A and B are shown apart, each in its own frame.
Chain A
Amino acid sequence: MQEVHEGLSRFKVLIIGGGAREHTISLLLYRSAAEPSISSLSSSTNPGILRLCEASRGKCMKGKVTDPKEALNAAEEVSPDLVVIGPEEPLFSEVSDVLREKGFIVFGPSSKASLIEKDKGFARRLMWKHKIPGRLRYMAFRDPEEASEYARASGDSVVKPARQAGGRGVRVFGESAEHLSRIARNAAAMYTKRLAEEVRREYSDIENTIVVEERAEGIEYTTMNVTDGNSFVALPVVEDHPHLYPWDLGPETGGMGSISGPSYMLPFLTREEFEESTGIVKATVKAIYSELKEEYVGVISGQMMLTSLWGPTLIEYYARFGDPEIGNLLFMIESDFLELLDLAARRKLSSYKLEARSDVYVVNKAVAPEGYPLMREKGRGHPIVVNEDRIRSLGCEVLYGGVDIVNGRPITTGSRALEVLCQSEVGFEEASRLAEKAIAEVSTLDGYRLIHRWDIGTQEHIGLRVKKAEVARLAYTRRRCKGLNVIYDWIPGKGVMEFDYSSDSKFSQG
């Protein structure tokens, strides 16, 4: 009798998505005082989520997460008190809309509000129209030829698919010096055309194909904010590491690891910069409302950069928790995460107070099969072995990502396979060392090479960031003190072009 009663009263969560982000969310929710049962819908079987489903008597379902019908079936089967949508693609394909229509409580923005991530041109346009600080010059294009010509003419640019494409396709054509400009511009023009044609072929749900932006240089960090549209809860800032190789070398990835702490801050960020960054995100949520009449319910993450021109500058928005960034929160958040997501989804966030640990340094390192990200096929299908007991004995945690259970065995999918999360009360250096020890407990049965970045969290690496941030800070504070917020480009024979970066007075900082 008692068991039945328990089953009835237990809070039920359905998590959509099956990567390391969703594994982390499951772990955060699992430890809630409400002792929820956790169910999941995902296209592969994540060993970590599967375990939590089993332990909490939830259901682990396999299905296409971007199909609203399949999501609805899963929700109807579980009848959850809360649905949490992890990745961005289900948001774009109206999964949140359909579930809400049917009366489910959903954490995750509507498909319209998720345009802030899906449509890079929309995000930039919104920021310029509402004079939100931290913006970059951009142009959006439909026609591949036109985009290509612009990329050639503008120089020192970043070329992106206009539609969010799993972080793929973004390339930076830096002209750190003018003597390289012709080479960089030619390469940018050629690539832009190719990418535009690719985007056209692959996506029919967006008008533009390409966004070309001015290139920003500086230190990157991520600010994640949970909101119900009116109230905001800023989470601790996390620094991601986009390069594949140590010493910030190599191709761009979705992130090879992240550091955070202690408390909300990072060693290279000031309190003002932190607040300014969350201010930018808040202003954007307000702008989304005034533009689309849509309350933003979920998390909005700003991939930020501290630049020498403008200080905190927005590189890109995510309508989801950053991955690997959310991993760090597992060791940082003390308050009830289920309560946070549930209150946001019910639009009652105003009373919530987040407690974050102020005494811990967290290092999260991703482990990927060789081939990620440029030759993913190579990295697919390798059986992986993780000695979780040994890793936990180091005080670390494993977050599963690109691992699928096939015939009862964990197999790599070609993406980042897992993250190893470690903590220290002494400093990043120790947490990083622990992570190295933990990663030594991960291997493949067929001896296939796994890669990770050993430099994340080391003093050598953080020291470089701190120095770079100081240089950027001196430069942007000088501009601000002098009230310089217009960029003048004088083109001989054509005249002066003016770009006014000034912000709406309501955002102006002291």
Chain B
Amino acid sequence: MEKKYWQSFGELNNSDAYQKSSKNEFKEELPFDAEKGLLDAKTPRRDFLKYLGFTTAAAAVAASCEVPVKKAIPFANQPEEIVPGVANYYATTYVQEGDVISVVAKVRDGRPIKLEGNELSPITKGGTSARVQASVLDLYDGARLRFPTIDGKETNFDTIDKVISEELASAGNIVILSSTINSPSSLDVIQKFLAKYPGSKHITYDAVSNSGILLANETSFGKKVIPSYRFDKAKTIVSIGADFLATWISPVEYANQYAHGRKINDANPEMSKHIHFESVASLTGSNADVRYLHRPSQTGAIVTALLSAVKGESINGISDAKLKEGIEKTAKALTEKKGEALVVCGSNDVNIQIIINAINEILLANGKTIDWNSINYSRKGIDTEFAQLVDDMNAGTVGALLVIDANPVYTWYDNEKLKTGLDKVKVKISFGSKADETTQKCKYVIPNHHFLESWGDAEAKSGCYSFMQPTIYPLFKTRQWQDSLLKWGGASTDYLAHLKSFWGAKLTGSNSWDKALQDGVHNTASDILGTSVYNATSLAAAIANVQPAKTGIELQFYQKIAIGAGQGAANPWLQEMPDPVTRATWDNYLVVSPAMAKTLLKIDLSKNAQSDKYEVHPDKKVVAIKINGKLIELPALIIPGTHPETVGIAVGYGRDKKLGKTVINDVTDTSIGVNVYPFAQYVNGTVSYDISNIELKLTDKTYPVALTQTHNLYNTPHGNRTEILKELTLGEYKENTKVILEEREKELAAYGGLDNFREEGSIYKPFDKPGIKWGMSIDLNACNGCGACLIACNAENNVSVVGKPEVLRFHDMHWLRIDRYYSGDADNPNVVFQPMLCQHCDNAPCENVCPVAATNHSSEGLNQMTYNRCIGTRYCANNCPYKVRRFNWADYTGSDSFPNNQDELNNAVHYMNEDLTRMVLNPDVTVRSRGVIEKCSFCVQRLQDGKLKAKKEGRPLKTGQNDEWDLKVACQQSCPTDGIIFGNVNDAESSISKARRDSNRLFYSLEFLHVLPNVNYLAKVRNTDEQA
């Protein structure tokens, strides 16, 4: 018999009670009464620890889940050519409404994140502009159109192609309306399309055209083209209202050439002389050696007088004595340098440009400073052609309109007439990539690729080709317009095949298609300057027809370097870039002179109390401007360098809200700024942006303008702060090239003088700095303040956009800014631009005050910021004499662990934090969280990369030896004038060492503080007769 083990007598005897209990599954009492429910249960002593354990664990799990999980999905299969963490570079081309800049796109893990200038380009030589740098952000713009639409409804390409083909077949009189297209293959596509549809034509429309120059050249030289201006060959440069460093025709190219003549060699101090005539302060005018102010309507009289003066005749028609003397001096400076002089004019008046041509002929510029062998294809639009098209549309003779990269509804002066005309066009097709003002009027929309998604080519100047290749698969259901035209034109190939076959024959041997694509550029132009035959017959008529000067207050519209004709309006980087002239962001405004401010605004800037009040309050007085009976209101900013009876307003604002969140003012929920294009005038066949007969009236309203700099003078009531920056005239410099050294010696005399300053200025012994030591040199003569470096820095270092409400509170985050100071005449001052970034001081005042050592010095001389050590006391920022440290006042980047704490921020921040926009972030650079300080790191990620490259190749680092570079920091790379040199100062052969050795203009900002900066500047020299 089986042995029985028992636990209780009940079990042994198998009692009733045992039988009952053995059937009960839960022998122990449940810890709560089933009837009363769980919440009323008492916690027995034995269960207490269980509960405690469970709740602690649950709370810990719940608490540790607060950070939202973001998914990063690895590649299932390693794609060819993509190594995670290693960037690929593809040469491509920035093309926007005729502007062409060759670039190299940095692509990380399949997404382009940064554009670098293509140093192989013969035109820009690696230079870029702020707009080029910012264009990568447009790729990830959430407001881009994502699919083709018919009447606003989504459709697919097959359907839309079918419908449009049918429509076009019956439309008759098809017009292709585009901004300037300088892509040879695209022009070929257009020709093929036009051939298919007889009676169709192609009209070029530029938002701000150069019709005046084109037509004048047709008259004077028989060629309706713009030649190449060679600012590098000119010893005397005279510009009459041409903002050639910022917005006029080909500014990046001109900036590079201009700097060539401005940089000074110590051994032989010579530089070009730049005389500027203008009405409203511009970037180019701010860089001029001498600036004369005039009314916009006086332009004709000035060029006529200048013509007389260079001919040696007496001047008539200029009543302003200062101006008259200026013209005489200008003529003298020009005639002294015949063959090395260049006169350019920004006027769109044909007659004026004909006179300019005549002046340049007398100065022997033809073939010397104006190259007719090399034609600039950036601007081809003729205003009359478009005006004719508007008439035709109103007459109902246009059957179909295809709009490529043009937005006349926004930019054309008579947009009411244009809109009625458009209503009469049966078939309207837009290739706009965003729902801009013109695209909204079109029934069919086939959004174009971003240029970083496109194939293509461009010929900015004759023989200088630049190629475009996709750097990313199209993000949306978009298509290149060339593909559409080919398809509708009945071609069997797509654009890529067409492009290849177009170039196949032209690119042979060593210049193969692959090579051209790899280089990004292909140059067949010669270096020899060409002439053109001049024909003076129409000159007399032009002089006779010049518009006479007007009286009363005049208004001039101008383009800002960042916003342009409106192309940059939806780009938050560009909107937040302080305008170099006004230092304002996120708005347009009325620019008034200090003289007019006294009468109009009742503000006298020469009185400290009034200027203080004006400066410290961002709320600026609003002025009502009556133009042709229409009233607009804008806040007024006082900008010296503006003619006392002229006011200026920037174009490019007041965009349609469909362009995206970034064009909307958070507070008012209206568009940012005011669109002033409708107030432009059409005079003698060209659009003029000079308006007379306006009335200004001060209102009692105010409007906040987000300025990033409020005070502009370094001369204070308690001394001239020449330790900050140094400027002098060429005469002074020639007389004594050691003048800057002597000035420094004097400043440091109390601390041991120049030689012993480093040792005697401190109680600590100097320490050795072996190995690499980084340094930067900025030539104030090369810097024209364009701001390309600023946006390059934004893109490279993930610098936050903070939006207007935050900039208003002085919360902007720029690591690099361009300070602008005035000196001399209060109404027409000398302007100096000083790029200001972390100076990486060897004896940094920020480092010793941080309680947690979050900012410290590297052995290579970098002042480093350790973000995750920073607790945000801001003492470092207070103690930084250069005020370059930036604090994360709010969660600008979405990298904070508090949920929903961006709700109170603004549109711009929300835009920058969309998943799509965040694709632009550089994965090599930490995104800073709220509450920490950040600042320029000298692009430490690039430095590490460069060092690694040299190490892998087993050789010393190269920073400019024989112009070979292992690395360039972002600002340096983007600079169109090579004004920034960066490198290893311990290497005697590096560019930076040479630059420091060679120049006596070297100085350190605020050197006497003994903070020992690693950034030096070269003093600004002006080619003027007067003392600075």
Q: Does A pair with B?
A: no
CB within 8 Å of A: which residues of B? none
